[in-house]
């Protein structure tokens, strides 16, 4: 799937189409006022205030019709530069534009605006030459969005859309979007009874038994991987004092995203990240260079005060757990540790089928950062060399590093071509420094030194990764991960006891099996199990199976694998082999 925001030509096309959409809305709703209309990965959106009117999906065809009429008219798009004073006068009746203009620094700032026919809007540009080029677009959906993401401000209508140069590109994109809608983790989460989200508690997930089985399986899988890779698991407090966050730098750079609480006249914050806690463990006793590298893994529950308008299912939440780890090492160990991490990441992604077409990006120093530029340059060079030593190519993302250090980001591609940034490893000279948390070890020269800190995660947020898996597999999870690995269905009630015996036999081997002994007939049970649970193995048992102590297995992908009869022991061993090897099929 193409990222429109990163495609320069398509980005210009979509931003121009946002202006066309705004012009069409203005024609249909003369009192409309507009906030912002940025290009995003999936196209663009525009936030519009229609007073007492709220746009709905039913309004979109009329807006599309007006857009096509305007595009056919073929007006050219003109750029004009005016002063801040002139802009304030021109948009005096538009509070949204006035807000944008007044936040510009200098009184004599040159402001650009673009005009097409009877519509003018503030914009940096660039744009296409004429609206005649804006033929292939589609308005996708409409939702509510608070102005500036603030619930105390007006609710605006946010219209999402996308535009392409070629009609077939638009057709292919819409087909992909249709497939993505079928895979929507929010829909499948309800259908498969995995979790629910409560609007009274935004950004928090209520995991149901089915979903929690998978969540714990995923967490235990990662726990086994990291322990085997030389990590020690730790756990740090959920709430830590303001003084610690001030020393770490998070209070100054991240406070707006932190939940603050007070006790005994002291301020505390619910941790939005785990790194300061890991360093407190490192500092709890005297460390030697012989202790390094020290790899501390933590499935740390974090909470971040994300704006409610940015939340999305279980993909973007306020409360989440990271498969987090912090490696304390010397500079000489950076290359080996980054390479070791890359190999771990590839090993994990392979078990989910994500090891192909992996994208790697090196994010460099942002404007809002701590530490001097020379240290940053040194850190970026070290991470770059380590990445090359791991045999992985990368591209540069200028200015996208964390405030404390550069990072490598690993983006996987799912079954329908969408990109998801998950894994990351960040090189940090700042947090362990004397100016921050002052972590020290005794070197071979018997002097005190500050370690380098590597922040790393393979999956990232377990909640988000679960959402990715739901959509990637469309709910048809590999057997080792599925909440229900085996469904046992009797051909009639006379065989309920044998069905339960089979399920119990498999359960003893830690295979997640359930006997369906209800009153529905066999066909109804199999249809429900296949469509709702997408269970990998459905065992049908009747007189012959009971007499011979066998099972007849219907595989989930019956078109690929014919049904097969197993002895109980052979079927148990078959499933255990698939589960224990984390086989990505069935």
421 three-class SS: strand
Distance CA 306, CA 259 (A): 10
206 three-class SS: strand
Distance CA 154, CA 146 (A): 6
- CB contact at 8 A, 317 and 463: yes
Q: Supply angle C-alpha 445, 446, 449, rounded to 5.
A: 85
Distance CA 515, CA 500 (A): 5
What size, in residues, is the chain? 586
- CB contact at 8 A, 293 and 453: no
Distance CA 474, CA 165 (A): 30
Q: What pairing do the DSSP bridges indicate for beta strands 513-515 and 486-490?
A: parallel
- CB contact at 8 A, 556 and 578: no
Q: Which residues of 21-50 are buried (b: 16+ CB within 10 A; e: fewer)?
A: bbbbbbbebeebbbbbbebeebbbbbbbbb
Distance CA 421, CA 39 (A): 19
Distances (CA, A) of 37 to 2, 15, 310: 20, 8, 16
422 three-class SS: strand
| E strands, 55-101, in order | 78-83
For residue 499, what are its two tokens? 């069905």
Tell me the longest C-alpha to C-alpha distance in the chain: 91
- Residues acting as catalytic residues: 275, 304, 322, 324, 326, 407, 455
- CB contact at 8 A, 185 and 477: no
For residue 29, what are its two tokens? 């709703």
């Amino acid at each position: 799937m193409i990222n429109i925001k990163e495609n320069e030509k398509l980005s210009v096309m979509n931003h121009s189409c946002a202006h066309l959409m705004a012009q069409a809305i203005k024609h249909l709703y003369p009192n409309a006022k507009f906030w912002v209309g940025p290009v995003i990965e999936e196209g663009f959106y525009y936030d519009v205030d229609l007073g007492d009117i709220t746009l709905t999906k039913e309004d979109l065809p009329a807006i599309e019709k007006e857009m096509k009429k305007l595009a056919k008219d073929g007006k050219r798009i003109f750029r004009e530069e005016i002063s801040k004073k002139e802009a304030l006068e021109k948009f005096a009746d538009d509070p949204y534009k006035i807000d944008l203009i007044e936040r510009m620094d200098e009184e004599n700032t040159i402001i650009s605006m673009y005009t097409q026919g009877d519509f003018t809007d503030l914009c940096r540009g660039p744009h296409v030459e004429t609206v005649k080029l804006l033929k292939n677009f589609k308005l996708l959906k409409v939702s509510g969005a608070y102005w500036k993401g603030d619930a105390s401000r007006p609710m605006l209508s946010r219209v999402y859309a996308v535009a392409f140069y070629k009609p077939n590109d638009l057709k292919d994109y819409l087909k992909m979007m249709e497939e993505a809608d079928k895979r929507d983790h929010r829909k499948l989460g309800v259908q498969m009874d995995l979790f629910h989200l409560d609007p009274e508690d935004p950004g928090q997930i209520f995991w149901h038994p089915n979903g929690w089985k998978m969540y714990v399986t995923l967490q235990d899988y990662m726990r086994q991987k990291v322990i085997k890779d030389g990590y020690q698991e730790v756990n740090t407090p959920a709430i830590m004092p303001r003084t610690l966050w001030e020393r770490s730098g998070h209070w100054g750079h991240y406070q707006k995203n932190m939940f603050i609480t007070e006790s005994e006249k002291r301020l505390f914050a619910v941790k939005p990240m785990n790194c300061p806690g890991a360093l407190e463990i490192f500092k709890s006793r005297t460390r030697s260079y012989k202790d390094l590298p020290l790899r501390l893994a933590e499935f740390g529950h974090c909470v971040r005060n994300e704006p409610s308008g940015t939340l999305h299912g279980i993909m973007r939440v306020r409360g989440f757990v990271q498969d987090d780890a912090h490696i304390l090492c010397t500079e000489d160990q950076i290359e080996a540790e980054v390479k070791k991490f890359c190999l771990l990441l590839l090993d994990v992604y392979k078990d989910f089928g994500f090891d192909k077409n992996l994208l790697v990006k090196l994010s460099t120093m942002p404007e809002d950062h701590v530490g001097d530029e020379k240290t940053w340059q040194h850190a970026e060079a070290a991470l770059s060399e380590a990445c090359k030593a791991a045999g992985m190519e990368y591209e540069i993302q200028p200015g996208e590093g964390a405030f404390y250090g550069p990072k490598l980001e690993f983006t996987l591609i799912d079954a329908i071509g969408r990109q998801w940034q998950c894994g990351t490893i960040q090189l940090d000279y700042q947090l362990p420094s004397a100016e921050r948390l002052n972590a020290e070890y005794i070197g071979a020269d018997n002097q005190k030194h500050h370690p380098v800190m590597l922040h790393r995660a393979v999956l990232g947020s377990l909640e988000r990764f679960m959402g990715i898996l739901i959509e990637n597999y469309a709910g048809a999870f590999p057997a080792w991960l599925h909440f229900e690995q085996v469904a046992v269905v009797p051909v009639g009630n006379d065989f309920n006891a044998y069905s339960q015996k089979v399920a119990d036999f498999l359960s003893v081997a830690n295979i997640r099996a359930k006997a369906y002994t209800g009153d529905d007939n066999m066909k109804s049970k199999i249809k429900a199990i296949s469509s709702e649970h997408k269970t990998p193995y459905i065992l049908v048992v009747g007189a012959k199976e009971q007499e011979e102590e066998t099972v007849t297995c219907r595989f989930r992908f019956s078109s690929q694998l014919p049904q097969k009869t197993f002895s109980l022991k052979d079927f148990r061993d078959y499933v255990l082999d698939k589960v224990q090897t984390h086989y990505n099929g069935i």
